[in-house]
Amino acid sequence: MFEPPPPLPATDASGFLPGPLGLRLDEEFLSLSAINGSRSALDAIFPVGNARINPDGWSLRVRPSAAWTSGDTPAGEFSSVEIGHGLTHLRLRGVEALHFLGQYTCVDLFAAPLRQVKTARTRLNQYDCTIWWTNTRDVHLLIARSLAQSFCDHLRILAVRNEPGDSFKHPRPSAPEAPNRRG
C-alpha cells in the first residue's frame, strides 16, 4: 500500500486579496471527519458551539448529533464519515479579517456568546460557511468544495469595496470588563 498523492486545491486562493485592506486568503487542506452520535455522548466530548484545538487537530460541533474533527474518532458509540475533500478550508488573515467577514454574515460575530466560543456556521451573503477563529486577525473558513472558487472570487469583489477600517467603523463594547472587539 502506498500513500495517496497530495490532494489538489479546490481554489486559486493563495495570497493577498485586492483592495486596501491587506487581507490574505489561502487554502489549506484539512482532513476532516464527521462524527455522528447521540447528543449526550457528543456533549461530553465536543461541547456545544466550540471550536477546539487539540494537539491532534481541530474539532467543531456542528449539529446536535454531529461534530467535525480533524483528529481521530473518539472511543464510544460513534460513527465516522470522511468529509475533508468536500469542505475547502480557507484562512483569511489580516488586521481587519473578522470585521471584514462580520459585515456580511447573517449572525453578529461579535455578540457575547460567539465572542467566547469563536465559531459559527452561518450564511455569508449567499454562501453557507463555517467560520472559526483564534483571534480576529486569523480566521478559518469551511466552505463546500464546489462553491469554494466562487466564494474566493466573491471575497475579492467585496474586498475592493472596503476602506481600511477607521476606529469609528465598528461598535465595540466599552464596559471595562468587556473584551475589546478588536481582538
- 103-122 residues in contact with another protein (CB under 8 A) are 103-108, 110-111, 113, 120-122
Q: 45 vs 62, which CB is nearer to another protein?
A: 62
75 touching another protein, by CB under 8 A: no
**Between 24 and 170, CB nearer to another protein:** 170
Query: Considering beta carbons, is residue 70 or 150 the nearer one to another protein?
Result: 150
142 vs 123: CA distance, rounded Å:
12
Radius of gyration of the chain (CA): 17
Residues 119-138 that bind another protein (CB under 8 A): 120-123, 125-128
CA-based end-to-end distance of the chain? 46
Work out how close the CB of 82 gets to another protein at its nearest, in angstroms, rounded to a whole number: 7
Please state the length of the chain: 183
Q: Report the residue number, 43 or 138, with the smaller CB distance to another protein.
A: 43
What is 81-131 written as a DSSP string? EE-GGGEEEEEEESTTHHHHHHTTBSS-TTSHHHHHH-EEEEEETTEEEEE
Q: Show the cell assigned to 4.
A: 495517496
Coil, helix or strand for 14?
A: strand
Nearer to another protein, 55 or 174 (CB): 174
Which position among 15, 55, 75, 168 is part of the footprint of another protein (CB under 8 A)?
A: 168
Which parts of 2-61 interact with another protein (CB under 8 A)? 2-10, 19-20, 29, 34, 36-40, 43, 48-49
